[in-house]
Amino acid sequence: MPAVITVPTLQRFAPRCAAAVLAPALASAAAANAISTPARVCAWLGQIYVESQALTVLEEKFNYTAADLLKLWPKHFPTPAAAQAAVGKPEAIAEAAYGGRFGNANPGDGWLYRGRGLIDLTFKDEYQQAGHWLHDRGIDLDLVATPALAADPNTAAAIAGAFWTAKGCNPHADAGDIPAVTRLVTGAQTDLAQRQAATRRAALIWN
């Protein structure tokens, strides 16, 4: 039986999210990407729930503490003093953390292509790839020229759905293999326990 994302069900799943805005966007993206069964909907929502801090954050804020910087980017903030000096300077943090790699070739690219969306796109290369994913689903947006679009709820949902299809996640969701899904989404097993827990919570609503 199909599983449908509605405002009430999404509000139950993620009480702090803007369900009235996100539910229609997620429902449309799910329908466009065959995310239609309870297993698929729950696995998908479980992933993006963790990626977007319970569906509440669509753009990286960089309100990191010195301890956060030392933990997240030890190569770029190698000492407590360097980390503390960067606190409260979001553009400088973004440039130090993301500049000079994965397509971020120009000064300011680290900030321009900071984390956005429901799957947390980061780096110019990822924005370009997301544009290709959308194109394959019949949506033409230049995310490299207008990266802020990735933080729009409708675009963010469309990217999350297109990403899911491009990575081939549905078969693993069908099998209930959340570790495999997580590996496809993150390239590792990042926050696996949180993703499994979010998927189980979704199952209480959509199963």
Q: What is the pTM of this model?
A: 0.93
pLDDT score at 207? 87
What pairs with residue 59 in β-bridges? 116
Instruction: Please tell me the distance from the alpha carbon of residue 107 to that of residue 87, in angstroms, as a whole number.
Output: 20
Per the DSSP assignment, residues forming a β-bridge with 116 are 59, 121
Which spans in 52-187 are helix H? 66-72, 80-86, 90-98, 109-112, 124-136, 153-166, 170-174, 178-186
Distance of CA 90 to the CA centre of its chain: 20
pLDDT per residue over 94-144, tens digit each?
Answer: 999 999 999 999 999 999 999 999 998 999 999 999 999 999 989 999 999
pLDDT at res. 2: 81
Residue-wise over 79-106: b if at least 16 C-beta within 10 A, else e? eeeebeebbeebebbbbbbbbeeebbee
Report the pLDDT value the prediction gives residue 13, as an integer from 0 to 100.
98
**What pLDDT shows up at residue 134?**
95
Which regions in the chain score pLDDT beneath 50?
Answer: none
